[in-house]
Amino acid sequence: MLEQIKQTADFLKSKIPSQPEIGIILGTGLGNLVTQITDKTEIPYNTIPNFPVSTVEGHSGKLIAGKLGGVDVLAMQGRFHYYEGYDMKQVTFPVRVMKAIGIETLLVSNASGGVNPGFEIGDLMIITDHINHFPEHPLRGKNYNELGTRFPDMSEAYSKDLIARAKKIAAKNNIKVVEGVYVGTSGPTFETPAEYVYFRKIGGDAVGMSTVPEVIVANHAGIRCFGISIITDLGVPGKIIEVSHEEVQQTGNSVQPLMTQIMKELTVEIFKSKE
Ligand code: HPA
- For the residues of the chain, what is the DSSP string, one character each? -HHHHHHHHHHHHHH-SS---EEEEE-TT-GGGGGGEEEEEEEEGGGSTT-----STT---EEEEEEETTEEEEEEES---GGGT--HHHHHHHHHHHHHHT--EEEEEEEEEE-STT--TT-EEEEEEEEE--SS-TT-S---TTT--SS---TTSS-HHHHHHHHHHHHHTT--EEEEEEEE---SSPPPHHHHHHHHHTT-SEEESSSHHHHHHHHHTT-EEEEEEEEEEE-STTT-----HHHHHHHHHHHHHHHHHHHHHHHHHHHHHH-
C-alpha 108 – ligand 1 centre gap (Å): 16
C-alpha 183 – ligand 1 centre gap (Å): 10
pLDDT of 12 above 90 = yes
User: Using a 6 Å CB cutoff, which residues line ligand 1?
Assistant: 111-113, 190-191, 207-209, 232-233, 235, 243, 248
* pLDDT band per the 50, 70, 90 thresholds, residue 31: confident
* pLDDT band per the 50, 70, 90 thresholds, residue 58: very low
Structure confidence by residue, pLDDT tens digits, 177-194 = 999 999 999 999 999 999
Predicted pLDDT at 149? 96
Predicted pLDDT at 100? 97
Mutate to test the pocket of ligand 1, among 59, 83, 121, 191 (most ligand atoms within 8 A of CB): 191
Residue with the smallest CA separation from ligand 1 atom 3 is 208
pLDDT of 218 above 90 = yes
C-alpha 271 – ligand 1 centre gap (Å): 32
pLDDT of 57 above 60 = no
Structure confidence by residue, pLDDT tens digits, 111-163 = 999 999 999 999 999 999 999 999 999 999 999 999 999 999 999 999 999 99
Q: Can you give the pTM of this predicted structure?
A: 0.93
Answer whether CATH 3.40.50.1580 is correct for domain 2-274: yes
pLDDT of 228 above 70 = yes
Residue with the smallest CA separation from ligand 1 atom 10 is 112
Predicted pLDDT at 56? 55
